[in-house]
Amino acid sequence: MSKYADYDSISKTYDQSRKPVGIEIIMGFLASMSKPLNELVVLDAGCGTGNYAMRLREKIARVVGADFSLGMLQQYQKKFGTDKANDSAVRCDISELPFSGELFDAIICNQSLHHLDQPEDDFANQQKFFEHAYRILKPEGLLIINTITHEQLHDGVWWGRLIKPAVERMTHRFTSAVKLDELLSKHNFEITNRVVPVDTIIQEEGYFNPESLRQQAFRNGDSHFSLLSEAELADVLRQLAELESSGAIGPYIEQREKLREQLGQFTFFVARKRRQA
Amino acid sequence: MIEQELLNMLACPACQGALRLAPSGDELICQAERVAYPVIGGIPILMAAEARRMAQAEALPLSCCV
């Protein structure tokens, strides 16, 4: 469950700016498993409106979506329509995954882990998620995590510096890459790969248009904005207006984008369930 | 309505035990915990905070469940 964003409300506009970025990377790792895609059973933990699940469903035998927000799951159901997977949406707290043991060949978790804990919780719920993920994965099953490193939080979007208060707060909700490695190892996962799609932009439509920051629907697609107070958001928009009126916005975005092009916006961590000794 | 294949995959979030669909079709029951989880619009709500604690008289024998 998200500790800071109201996804029942956000669900109404979420798909206007969010697409299943990096799906080809997920599909690639799933295709590399020992079974054919049409025999795999996959859990989408934090499935939201089902953007990833819909694409997975084209090739994968069985996809189950799990999310805390009923509003997001109702959008998920609308997408699947009469598909038999229509019934495969489950409302739950993904830190308490309510599934039988050794059921899934793979679990994908896209941009969801940072919603599980308050900053003072030392990632307790993320750890519970890893415990359950281990329990419900088949032997040597894959856990594919799509998240944002601290470096990407700061410089993965051109407006990162403008929303600095939110970014600073977000760094307490996201694990660092080192911490994630440590927690996965503690819970008997081995990271087998990391992939950064440097040319992929999470909210590609409207990303380069400064006007997007003034649109609530666009901001709803980036939960950083949920961590700004109204006064801080007003200050962000004031800074934006100054950059525009001075003619500096173009060079500003260009300069910031050089960092994004090096760091990328997000990272896939691919972890394999270890056999217990 | 929840399809059987999905039902077989689900477990009680409290004890990870099996769940059974109530005859009404709108609840999933964990007999071990004696709780009923709602099903809303075909979506199982498997969260302790949303569960209904069942009265003793409500306990369903296996044969009552589908």
Residues of A in contact with B13 (CB under 8 A): 92-93, 96-98
Candidates A275, A268, A272, A198; CA nearest to A27 is A268
pLDDT in tens, A232-273: 999 999 999 999 999 999 999 999 999 999 999 999 999 999
Sign of CA dihedral A96, A100, A106, A108: negative
Among A residues 96-135, those touching chain B with beta carbons less than 8 Å apart: 96-101, 103, 135
Lowest pLDDT segment from A32-41, A53-62, A72-81, A173-182? A72-81
Give the mean pLDDT of A196-204. Answer: 92
User: How large is the ipTM?
Assistant: 0.90
> Which residue blocks in chain A are alpha helix, DSSP H?
7-10, 23-31, 51-57, 70-80, 124-136, 150-155, 164-170, 177-186, 216-220, 230-245, 249-263
Q: Dump pLDDT digits (tens) for A125-163.
A: 999 999 999 999 999 999 999 999 999 999 999 999 999
List A residues 217-256 in contact with B (Cβ-Cβ < 8 A): none
pTM: predicted TM-score of the whole model, two decimal places = 0.89
| Nearest-by-Cβ selection for B9 from A73, A77, A103 | A103
Integer angstrom CA distances of residue B48 from A69, A75, B52: 15, 23, 8
Shortest Cα distance, chain B CAs vs residue A87, angstroms? 6
Q: Evaluate whether B1 touches B38 at the Cβ level (below 8 Å).
A: no
Strand A62-67 with A41-45, pairing: parallel
Q: How far is CA A194 from the centre of its chain?
A: 15
Distance from CA of A144 to the nearest CA of B (A): 20
